[in-house]
Chain A
Amino acid sequence: MKRIITATVQNRSGVLNRITGLMQKRQFNIDSISVGKTEVEQISRMTFVVEVEDMQKLEQLTKQLHKQIDVLKVADITDHAIVARELALVKVVCPPASRNELQSIIAPFRASAVDISKDSMIVQVTGDSDKIEAFLELVRPYGIKELTRTGVTAFLRGHQPQAADGNTYSLITN
């Protein structure tokens, strides 16, 4: 199953190495990692999307992360109300004749053309991973020359449904 884990870490040298190293050592499959600064100086936040077999493995992962000296907080936010976003840049084959057609695909995704050349267009699309997948499906027939994705970064929403409702949901499904 796919899980989204976030970790708040002290921004000391070696911390990223320590964390990716432990995932490698303990044989966790990482789909993506994104790292960046937070509102607090010297504190960074990491978002991992991992593929784990079962809850026991998942618990091990969060415990092992937590055990690191520079890790302040670890949370599995998969089952909470979250905002999860990813950004992708796609260079699509696009002779002048196809430009309008591509633009019409881009619009409903609120993606944007950020660069246009003689025979290609770079499109920037943000959203949850499903949306990005859907977008890529649509432009694939035109020919994808290059693709890069940032990996998911995620937040808890301001309002969390009561646990008793049982209606937490996940943006990432199997």
Chain B
Amino acid sequence: MKVKAQAVQERKPAAEVPKTGADLFVEALQAAGVDTIFGYPGGAVLPIYDALYRAEPRFQHILTRHEQGAIHAAEGYARVSGKPGVVIATSGPGATNLITGIADAMMDSLPLVVFTGQVGRSVIGTDAFQESDVMGITTPITKHNYQVQKQEDMPRIIKEAFYIATTGRPGPVVIDIPKDISGEVYQTAAAEEPIHLPGYQPTMKPNNNQIKKLIHAISTAKRPILLTGAGILHAKASEEVQAFAKRFQLPVASTLLGLGAFPASEPQFLGMAGMHGTYAANRGLYECDLLINVGARFDDRLTGNLEHFAPQATIAHIDIDPAEIGKIIPTSIPVVADAKAALKQLLTVEAELPDTESWRNHLQDYKEEYPLWYNNPAQDLIPQWVMKAVHKATEGNAIITTDVGQHQMWTAQYYGFDRPNRWVTSGGLGTMGFGFPAAIGAQLASPDSRVISVVGDGGFQMTMQELSVLQERKLPVKVLIVNNQSLGMVRQWQEFFYQERYSESLLDIQPDFVKLADSYDIKGVRLETQEQLVAELPSLLQSDEPVVIDCRVLRQENVFPMIAPGKGLHEMIGVSR
């Protein structure tokens, strides 16, 4: 029997209630152009939720079933729309439930504005009921944070927060609002203040001398390579980066988060680099004499052992965050700028073109000789093959979100992203539980796109309660569980580096995901053979309804190729069969 909600409660007409601080909050959100909010109510945000109830026009408020769901949904929303994700949670446990998502957004530079309720000002610091030190806890994982101390400061703070979250290198901003501030009637209309942040002036335009230096380096390079990072996506510079790569005939390698910035189907594209990158991309980075990094931060999963990272190369790095330049690798051509502005400049400056033909051919040989590979027995579902089938069924046009683990790497390797902002994954923090709620946010950001959430059977179980949101909102998200009945990536490392001692990584007992979906009144399907998948997957993915697809893949499949921890780019294992 399906449990249907009781008749939806009618909306009470907004009685003539005096305006409170929470109405100031609502007005500030409206002024910031917010229409969608992800959140969860509680004591300290009751005034805010009351103001939301009365607000006209209404916000689209998505009530996730856990605050972690709300914040990951906001991240997915931000990644796809480029707009800030807005989150509300109550004080204490509501706020602490957001922490993983805030840290995730900080690592992956996603613009979020997060509101947490706080206990009333008179009891802050007394260990009051549901008090937690949100400022203390969130300081190291936010671009900036505020606690509103006076009601009249709220409009200014909210305006600043949106500005800070979305400009420069994007990131999460937390605003902690004591309950009395949002609850008290407000007297004075706050004066409209322009944003005044003298300590915050992101550099957008590149320095001309550095651009000249870079152009000279490119012109004289024999083995140049372009590394594309997510900074390009934030700067909406995908077209420029393509034109740049074409102009100078540069081979291109991508970071995990940069996928989609440069089309995977272009011949110049070598693939993703790093721990599970392609042989060609990693050799490219290893052998190059000029590395042009645009908007990537030389994460250790990309570089491997630094001693062997681009050992012969001159390093050029374009980044909007000066602190990223030289943080990991000494950089001889630093360009602090917005990627779009810098690339535009690089496109217009006169330059001699380098002769890269033999270098490109050399890399092309690697590409042909050492492509990604997997064994494909006739019957079983092989995860890599499944990802290719998903690509085929969606013509590479879907928005894909993933969780963290093997399925994430297979998706990155095999989906082949040709367009920007359609790839949503947790890179820096590597957060299991991210993928499914992120898909909810992605679908809301792009209602007409097909959104597929590729998740592991482990990670899905961390946030699967958000199936409620699919049911309630009729969001046509497709959840594709790459079910290997294990914490696959952990199992793989235990196989390789711990002599197959599978400590706590095999999930022998699992819920029946089809029945689980059914209990939410969502269609659930189990796919077990290639034949079945070929027959059913396309129509399942086409459907206008949400679907949960439990894809029973081979349990012992591993992600290859791989750079073992501590090894260099040139020490890949599992390069070929």
Contacts and interface: CB of A to CB of B under 8 A. Distances in A.
Contact of A59 (B143, B197, B326): B326
B352 to A, nearest CB: 32
B147 A69 contact: no
Interface residues of B, number: 20
A9 B147 CA distance: 18
B136 A17 contact: yes
Given A60-B323, A67-B321, A10 B199 contact: yes
B198 A72 contact: yes
Interface in B210-268: none
Contacts of B144: 69
Contacts of B204: none
A13 B197 CA distance: 15
B199 A56 contact: no
B140 A69 contact: no
Given A18-B139, A21-B140, A56-B326, A69 B197 contact: yes
B116 to A, nearest CB: 14
Contacts of B147: 13-14
A68 B323 contact: no
B208 interface: no
A14 B135 contact: yes
B149 A13 contact: yes
A96 B109 CA distance: 66
Nearest to B147: A13
A22 interface: yes
- Candidate in A10, A59, A60, A69 with the most chain B CB atoms within 10 angstroms: A69
A14 B145 contact: yes
A170 B435 CA distance: 53
Interface in B130-178: 135-136, 139-140, 143-145, 147, 149, 164
A85 to B, nearest CB: 26
B135 A17 contact: yes
Interface string A88-111: 000000000000000000000000
A8 to B, nearest CB: 9
A5 B6 CA distance: 64
A71 interface: yes
Contact of B140 (A9, A22, A60, A63): A22
B322 A63 contact: yes
A138 B321 CA distance: 49
Nearest to A74: B199
B323 A69 contact: no
Interface string A49-71: 00000001001100110111111
A67 B135 contact: no
A25 interface: yes
Nearest to A61: B323
23 contacts: A10-B198, A10-B199, A13-B135, A13-B147, A13-B149, A14-B135, A14-B139, A14-B145, A14-B147, A17-B136, A21-B139, A22-B140, A60-B326, A63-B322, A64-B323, A67-B321, A68-B199, A69-B144, A69-B200, A70-B199, A71-B199, A72-B198, A72-B199
